[in-house]
Structure 1
Amino acid sequence: MEIILSETLGFCVGVRQVVDLAHECLKKASQKNIPAYSIGWFIHNQRVVKQLSELGLRHIEQPEDAPAGVALVRAHGITDELRNRFIQAGFELIDGTCRNVEYSQKIIRDVNKDDHIVIAGIAGHSEVTALSGVQDNDGVVIPSFVVQNTQDVNNLPHIGGRWVLMTQTTLPASEYKNILQAMKQKFGDSMIIGNHLCAGALRRNKALIDLCGQVEAVIVVGGKNSANTTALVHLVEDNGLPAFHVESAEEVTEQMRCYSIVGLTAGTSTPQSDIDEVYKALKGEML
């Protein structure tokens, strides 16, 4: 069996940064003899989370959950209200917010008071939550509408003013395109685009589409709770190929080895070690 690797796979820049900062968080906490925390799941990969947990990085959601210490802000960011509560509770924050998310939050913070913010994304996704929780200079949350599909766009109220379309930066391009078109049809010149999809995610998707033209099936490596990894699985299926979503080499099956040529890609939270082990398992070197 031949295995072709996607040209873009594994850790993105933002995830690589937050993993490095997780180690910095542990180091700083050790030097000060105080606890180290991650605010929410900083990466959607069980193995990486387990490794850092064993080193002492504890997962918490609220400042009330534990004594003050050094706390890592996840790559998807957090709401301004939650950030302020951690600071007021005496936590020292290490900010792992992806620069794309940070930029998106700044755009929302800088909009005119009469503008209406629309966030295209998955309701409840941590990035969408962070964008929905941006505060103005007076500490008031800037109102926003979250739309997951074109029907949600159709349900938006007909009110005056400018509409600013923001997006979850990792939203599948096809979903964003549909929402953007619906927004243009409904609001016309009253709508402007605030931010854009992550360029790295678009390159990853393009590389996967190219890969689909060369193989019979695709193995996608990544956390089952990772939205971007799940989106890669759907992209393979949309291109008419079988897709197999595995978290580790232990999930590789004989069915995956029955093809003459398969593709291998991975989500943004997948370390190179996981990719290498799945590759070996597909080759039958690690059963």
Structure 2
Amino acid sequence: MEVIRSKTMGFCMGVKQVVDLAHECLRIAKDKGVPAYSIGWFIHNQRVVKQLADLGLRHIERPEEGVPGVALIRAHGITDVLRQEFIDAGYELIDGTCRNVASSQSIIRNTGKNTLVVVAGIAGHSEVVALSGVTTTENILVPTVVVQSVEAVQNLPDDPKTVILMTQTTLPALDYRAILQAMKDKYGTALRIGNHLCAGALRRNKALLELCETVEAIVVVGGKNSANTAALVRLVEEFGLPAFHVESALEITEEMRSFNCIGLTAGTSTSQHDIDDVYSELKGVSR
């Protein structure tokens, strides 16, 4: 069986940065003799999380869940209120927020008072939570409305003076384009576009669609709770090919090996080690 790898897959820029910073967090904490934490799950990769947990990186959601130490902010970012709560509690923060997300938060922070801020994204996704939790320099929460569909756009206020559309940077492109068009139809020249989809995610999608043209099925490697991995699976299915979502090489089945030619891609939290393991298992080669 031939296994063809996608030209673009695996760790994105933001995830690479936050994994490096996780090791830095551990080093600083060790030097200071204090605990090391990640605020929320910093990566949807059980193997990497376990490796760093074994080295002493503990996952917490709130400052009261630990004693003050060194804490890593995940790539998706956190709300300004939560950030301040950790600072007030005596934690030293290492900011692993993806620069695209940090830029989006800055845009929201500097939005005028009479502007309706709409966030296109998956409700409850950690990046959307971070974008919906931005405060001004006067520590006032910037009001936002989250929309997840074209239907939700129709329920927005009809006559704000100005509207700014922010988006979850990893939102599936088809969903984003549909919401963007609905916003343009509703608000016309009153609409401002605040940010855009992650360029890396768009390159990943383009490479996957090119791969779909040459194979019979696709194996997508990534965490089962990873939204961007689920979006890759959906993209394959919408193309019309069988898609197999696996988290590790242990999930490879004989059905996946039954194709003459199968493609391989991976989500942004999937390491090269995990990709190589799955590739070897598909090929029946021990590593």
Q: Which TM-score band applies after superposition, normalised by the shorter structure?
A: over 0.9
Query: Which amino acid letter does the alignment assign opposite residue 244 of structure 2?
Result: F
The 1-side partners of 2:162 and 2:3 are apart by: 50
Query: Which amino acid letter does the alignment assign opposite residue 217 of structure 2?
Result: A
TM-score by length of structure 1 reads 0.99
Please give the residue correspondences for 1:185-224 in structure 2 after superposition, counting only pairs within 5 Å: 185-224=185-224
CA contact (8 A) 2:38 2:60 kept: yes
Q: What does residue 31 of structure 1 align with?
A: 31
Structure 1: stretches of 5+ with no match in the other structure: none
Identity of aligned residues (%): 67
CA contact (8 A) 2:222 2:269 kept: yes
The 1-side partners of 2:177 and 2:159 are apart by: 23
Deviation at 1:240, TM superposition (A): 0.4
Listed one character per residue, the Cα deviations across residues 155-191 of structure 1 (whole Å, up to 9, x for unaligned) are 1122321000000000000000000000011111111
Q: What does residue 71 of structure 2 align with?
A: 71
Q: What does residue 129 of structure 1 align with?
A: 129
Deviation at 1:110, TM superposition (A): 1.0
Please give the residue correspondences for 1:100-115 in structure 2 after superposition, counting only pairs within 5 Å: 100-115=100-115
Q: SS in structure 2 opposite 1:142?
A: coil
Deviation at 1:250, TM superposition (A): 0.3
The 1-side partners of 2:279 and 2:138 are apart by: 52
Deviation at 1:263, TM superposition (A): 0.4
The 1-side partners of 2:14 and 2:186 are apart by: 34
Query: Which amino acid letter does the alignment assign opposite residue 233 of structure 2?
Result: V
1:263 aligns with 2:259: no
The 2-side partners of 1:245 and 1:160 are apart by: 43
Deviation at 1:246, TM superposition (A): 0.3
CA contact (8 A) 2:116 2:160 kept: no
Q: What does residue 225 of structure 1 align with?
A: 225
The 1-side partners of 2:23 and 2:94 are apart by: 11
The 1-side partners of 2:86 and 2:36 are apart by: 13
Deviation at 1:216, TM superposition (A): 0.2
The 1-side partners of 2:129 and 2:159 are apart by: 24
The 1-side partners of 2:35 and 2:240 are apart by: 49
The 2-side partners of 1:27 and 1:118 are apart by: 39
Q: What does residue 20 of structure 1 align with?
A: 20
Q: SS in structure 2 opposite 1:59?
A: strand
Q: What does residue 178 of structure 1 align with?
A: 178
The 2-side partners of 1:161 and 1:168 are apart by: 23
Q: SS in structure 2 opposite 1:163?
A: strand
Query: Which amino acid letter does the alignment assign opposite residue 77 of structure 1?
Result: G
The 1-side partners of 2:71 and 2:249 are apart by: 32
Query: Which amino acid letter does the alignment assign opposite residue 235 of structure 2?
Result: L
What is the root-mean-square deviation of aligned Cα atoms in Å?
A: 0.8
4+ aligned runs moved over 2 Å, structure 1: none
